Amino acid sequence: MKTKRILMQFIASRRVNIVSIITLIFLSTVISPEFISAQASKSKAFKDTYELKEVVVLSRHNIRAPLSGNNSILSKITTHQWTDWTAKSSELTLKGGVLETMMGQYFRKWLEEEKLFEEGYCPNADEVNIYANSMQRTIATAEYFKTGFFPTCNMPVYHRFAPSKMDPVFFPCLTKVSESFKNQALKEISLMGGKKGIVGINESLKTSYDLIEKITDMKNSPACKEDKTCLLDDYNTQLVFKKGEEPNMTGSLKLANRIADALILQYFEVSDDKEAAFGNTLTTNDWENISKIKDVYGDVLFSAPIVAVNVAHPLLMYIKDELKSDVRKFTFLVGHDSNICSVVNALQFEKYSLPNTIEKQTPIGSKLVFEKWIDKKTKQEFININLIYQTTDQLRNLTPLTLNNPPASHPMKISGLVANEFGLYNSQDVMDRFEKAIKAYEDIK
């Protein structure tokens, strides 16, 4: 606890450098209990049968500052003052960097435990691929992860453009748009709201909307006085689909998502509960209701089957190729929640709700992890898929991650596929699902 307090004081000073961060994380780790197996939940039979051959990770960036800066709608929608972020608008915060370094350390210890890498080994360029979208927050996340994962290795982080420009592989934009596509997308999205369609989706969020209005004191805000934006009551959300652009919308859901995003980030960034909530006393359930807006917003834009296969297509192609590589041992791709959401839905994973986090679908810094396992005797390949994420408490408290105090891991199940007794999917079945999603994209007219 003493080390954690020192670390928090350093972060609060805003003058800490990366060497200091790594030193303090190391000190936090060495006072933790002894490491135990990352696969402790695996049976002896599993360990005797399988060995880990490759891991492919699709990661969301860690904690960033809100996408909107000064003089934006965020500054006008409330009578309160947002926290003094340690980064510019949309960029990774200092705390986000610390958390991602911890995650990198954990992954290294896990993969050493599984003997994918020898302790202290520096892999060659063919064995490891670290590739980030060309935004500051994604590049920085990759760099911090690499620092924890390969602290003594000169491993490059690959990104195609200078910050901040979207890489087509990670850009969740529509590359095929027609009237038939729009009609099908609207039909699939409308089903999410039941008989009332898009209005029903908004009505399901009324408790969340009311809570945000109260926390921000929206009715007394400059936005209310100047622009008459006093309530989140525009339930007639309009969806916009344009070729070369991300799916978009108008209405209260879009504004509510922007506010919810900033509040959740502030909750992770600020240690004082009341300060994070603008002086309000909120329960965990309240924070979950705020975060629910973000989940629904992401679902509306990116989870409809025809939309998911459209925007996820480049990443699906890339991940499939990485999983088929004979020489690759570890791939780390850094993108956004929209990337994870679209990939998960394009591959038709079963619906899930994550425990121990207020973000139930794609928590900040979360990682969709594809593990390729080999049967030692038959040499048959299998794939295990988990969503790895730091719990809300781990995020807020800067909890060091070790093999006996790991991040949360949620098993991901693919609809229509049958896993074996150890929860592993036949590798070819998973690759066929990739091909199915890729063909669904090709069939879009």
Q: 337 catalytic, yes or no?
A: yes
Give Cβ neighbours of residue 152 (< 8 Å, ≥ 6 apart).
Answer: 120, 122
SS3 content of the chain, % helix, strand, coil (to 5): 45, 15, 40
The CB density around residue 55, as the number of other CB atoms within 10 Å, is 23
Q: Are 34 and 403 in contact (CB under 8 A)?
A: no
Catalytic site residue from 261, 337, 429, 443: 337
> What six digits make up the tokens of 268?
């992770």
Q: What are phi and psi of 239, to 5 degrees?
A: -90, 140
DSSP state of 348: T
Catalytic site residue from 61, 159, 313, 336: 61
How far lies 191's CA from each of 133, 186, 196, 293, in Å?
A: 32, 9, 9, 18
Nearest-angstrom CA–CA distance, 291 and 258: 11
Helices (H), 66-93: 73-76
Nearest to 239 by CA among 299, 283, 194, 293: 299
Residues comprising the chain, all counted = 445
Nearest to 215 by CA among 227, 204, 207: 207
Q: 80 catalytic, yes or no?
A: no
DSSP state of 120: T
> What six digits make up the tokens of 346?
């394009």
> What six digits make up the tokens of 111?
């993969």
User: Across-strand partners of 45?
Assistant: none
State the DSSP string of 171-233: ---BS---HHHHHHHHHHHHHTTGGGHHHHHHHTTHHHHHHHHHHHTGGGSHHHHHH------
Enumerate the active-site residues: 61, 337
